[in-house]
Amino acid sequence: MSPTGYREYRAPGLACAWTAALPPDAEPFVQRVVPDGCVDLIWSDAGILVAGPDTGPVPATVRPGEAMVAVRFRPGTAPPVLGVPADAIRDGRLPLRELWGAEADRLAGTVADAGDRRAALVAAVLDRMPPPDPLVPAVVAALERASVRDVADELGIGERQLRRRSLAAFGYGPKTLQRVLRFQRALGLVRAGRTRADAAYAAGYADQAHFAHEVRDLAGEPLRNLLGATA
């Protein structure tokens, strides 16, 4: 458990749901959010915020007395729900009402009044999710083992079309998406107990120094600091 009381929960069809809160007498807590290819919808008393996808580290503040519930979309799955391409919200933090208008306020009220706010938000989001675009998981899986050119060939589309569709689905071009996915894969391996050298090799980095450089570039701090982060 982090100082914010941050917890993640399984949510079928989503990356996860999560909650965070601080008691009224606590000090404000700032945590570093690093790129993961995901988009979050975050409910608080102020309304519902849309966050990401990010290309670099973003500070997130939890204030005393604040409670949040949120859902995290898997990479590429948020745009059909939000109604905008992912590159329109890249590196963004904006009220959902800017996308949904009064419907966002109604959803915020429904969540606020629910006995289980997390369940209410998850149910509302899942109710809006269409069947997944088969290209999305195919791109994610292929970029874990192949170059962008090979991925385009494998999927039977041109590199320009792959870039256009990747920007709309993920908020990134395929090369950036590949970097973010590789970074998260290596980070997960280290957190699971693998050595940094082993994690770098398994994730596809040239060596441990390459991994360390990418961590600094994407997270804005050394790996040893990032591993001590609470989110």
- pLDDT score at 137: 94
Question: How far is 90 from 5, CA to CA, in rounded Å?
Answer: 27
Length of the chain: 231
- pLDDT score at 231: 40
Q: What is the pLDDT along the chain (231 residues), one digit of tens a residue?
A: 455 688 999 999 999 999 999 999 888 888 889 999 999 999 999 999 999 999 999 998 888 999 999 999 999 999 999 999 999 999 999 999 999 999 999 999 999 999 999 999 999 999 999 988 899 999 999 998 899 999 999 999 999 999 999 999 999 999 999 999 999 999 999 999 999 999 999 999 999 999 999 999 999 999 988 887 534
Question: How far is 165 from 42, CA to CA, in rounded Å?
Answer: 26
- pLDDT score at 212: 94
DSSP-derived pairing of the beta strands 7-9 and 39-44: unpaired
Tokens of 191: 């957190």
What separation in angstroms does the CA of 79 have from each of 85, 133, 162, 173, 188? 5, 11, 16, 15, 26
- pLDDT score at 230: 38
- pLDDT score at 2: 57
- pLDDT score at 60: 87
SS (H, E, C) the chain: CCCCCCEEECCCCCCEEEEEECCCCCCCEEEEECCCCCEEEEEECCEEEEECCCCCCEEEEECCCCEEEEEEECCCCCHHHHCCCHHHCCCCEEECHHHHCHHHHHHHHHHHHCCCHHHHHHHHHHHHCCCCCCHHHHHHHHHCCCCHHHHHHHHCCCHHHHHHHHHHHHCCCHHHHHHHHHHHHHHHHHHCCCCHHHHHHHHCCCCHHHHHHHHHHHHCCCHHHHHCCCC
- pLDDT score at 4: 65
